[in-house]
Structure 1
Amino acid sequence: MFSSDYHYTLPPERIAHAAAEPRDSAKMLFVDETGGMQDKVFKDILTLVRPHDIVVVNASKVIPARLHLVRLARGADGSDVSVEILLHRNLGSPARWLAFVRPGRRIKEGDRLCQIESQTPILDVMAKHEDGQIEVQFLIPDGEISRFLEGEGETPLPPYIHTDDSAAVRARYQTVYAKTGAEGSVAAPTAGLHFTPEILSRLNVAEVCLHVGAGTFLSPTPEQVAAKRLHAEWVEMPAATAARILEAKKAGGRVICVGTTSLRSVESWARFSHMSEDGWTGDTQLFISPGDGFLVTDALVTNFHLPDSSLLMLVAAFVGLERMHAIYEHAMALGYRFYSFGDSSFLERKI
Structure 2
Amino acid sequence: MDKRDFDYVLPEASIAQAPLAERRASRLLALDRQSGAVDDRRVVDLPALLDPHDLLVFNDTRVLAARMHGHKATGGAVEVMLERILDSRRLTAKIRANKPPRAEAEIRIGDYRLSVAARHGELYTLALDGDASVHDLLDAHGHMPLPPYIRRPDEITDRERYQTVWARHDGAVAAPTAGLHFDEVLLDALAARGVNFGYVTLHVGSGTYQRLREGDVRQQTLHAERLQVDALLCEQAAAARAAGGRVIAVGTTAVRSLETAARANGDQLGPYQGETQLFLKPGDTFHAVDAIFTNFHEPQSSLLMLISAFAGRDNVLAAYAHAVEAGYRFLSYGDAMLIR
TM-score w.r.t. length of structure 2? 0.92
- The CA deviation at 1:60 is 0.5
In 2, are the aligned partners of 1:187 and 1:213 still within 8 Å (CA)? yes
Which of the residues 128, 131, 155 maps onto 1:138?
Answer: 128
In 1, are the aligned partners of 2:296 and 2:337 still within 8 Å (CA)? yes
- The RMSD of aligned alpha carbons is 2.0
Given residue 64 of structure 2, which amino acid in structure 1 is its aligned partner?
A: I
Secondary structure class of the residue paired with 2:297: coil
In 2, are the aligned partners of 1:62 and 1:188 still within 8 Å (CA)? yes
- The CA deviation at 1:222 is 4.4
Which residue number in structure 2 is paired with residue 25 of structure 1? 25
**Greater than 4 Å deviation, 4+ residue runs:** 275-278
Which of the residues 179, 183, 187 maps onto 1:200?
Answer: 187
* Structure 2 unaligned regions, length at least 5: none
Which residue number in structure 1 is paired with residue 91 of structure 2? 97
Give yes or no for the alignment of 1:45 onto 2:29: no
Secondary structure class of the residue paired with 2:315: helix
Which of the residues 142, 153, 156 maps onto 2:145?
Answer: 156
Pair 277,321 (structure 1): closer, same or farther in 2 beyond 3 Å: closer
Pair 223,68 (structure 1): closer, same or farther in 2 beyond 3 Å: farther
Given residue 41 of structure 2, which amino acid in structure 1 is its aligned partner?
A: K
Secondary structure class of the residue paired with 1:127: strand
Partner Cα separation in structure 1 for residue 53 and residue 164 of structure 2 = 24
Pair 272,215 (structure 1): closer, same or farther in 2 beyond 3 Å: farther
Partner Cα separation in structure 2 for residue 7 and residue 313 of structure 1 = 10
Alignment of 1:157-176 (within 5 A): 157-176=146-165
- The CA deviation at 1:249 is 2.1
The aligned length equals 334
Which residue number in structure 2 is paired with residue 114 of structure 1? 108
- The CA deviation at 1:252 is 2.4
Partner Cα separation in structure 1 for residue 134 and residue 8 of structure 2 = 41
Which residue number in structure 1 is paired with residue 171 of structure 2? 184
In 1, are the aligned partners of 2:172 and 2:204 still within 8 Å (CA)? yes
* Structure 1 unaligned regions, length at least 5: 73-78
Identity %: 39
- The CA deviation at 1:339 is 0.7
Which of the residues 75, 82, 89 maps onto 1:80?
Answer: 75
- The CA deviation at 1:220 is 2.6
Which residue number in structure 2 is paired with residue 75 of structure 1? none
Partner Cα separation in structure 1 for residue 199 and residue 128 of structure 2 = 30
Partner Cα separation in structure 1 for residue 223 and residue 47 of structure 2 = 34
Which residue number in structure 1 is paired with residue 116 of structure 2? 125
Partner Cα separation in structure 2 for residue 60 and residue 169 of structure 1 = 16
- The CA deviation at 1:53 is 1.0
Partner Cα separation in structure 2 for residue 186 and residue 337 of structure 1 = 22
Alignment of 1:1-351 (within 5 A): 1-33=1-33, 34-72=35-73, 79-91=74-86, 93-103=87-97, 105-116=99-110, 118=111, 120-121=112-113, 123-129=114-120, 131-139=121-129, 141=131, 144-179=133-168, 182-201=169-188, 202=191, 203-222=195-214, 225-274=217-266, 279-348=271-340
Which has the larger displacement, 291-300 or 200-209? 200-209
Partner Cα separation in structure 1 for residue 226 and residue 3 of structure 2 = 30
TM-score w.r.t. length of structure 1? 0.89
- The CA deviation at 1:140 is 5.1
Secondary structure class of the residue paired with 2:276: strand
Given residue 8 of structure 2, which amino acid in structure 1 is its aligned partner?
A: Y
Given residue 256 of structure 1, which amino acid in structure 2 is its aligned partner?
A: I
- The CA deviation at 1:3 is 4.3
1:100-119: CA deviation from partner (whole Å, max 9, x where unpaired): 11127431222222225x4x
In 1, are the aligned partners of 2:24 and 2:181 still within 8 Å (CA)? yes
Given residue 61 of structure 1, which amino acid in structure 2 is its aligned partner?
A: R
Partner Cα separation in structure 1 for residue 219 and residue 90 of structure 2 = 27
Given residue 54 of structure 2, which amino acid in structure 1 is its aligned partner?
A: D
Given residue 180 of structure 2, which amino acid in structure 1 is its aligned partner?
A: L
Given residue 97 of structure 2, which amino acid in structure 1 is its aligned partner?
A: P
Secondary structure class of the residue paired with 1:55: strand
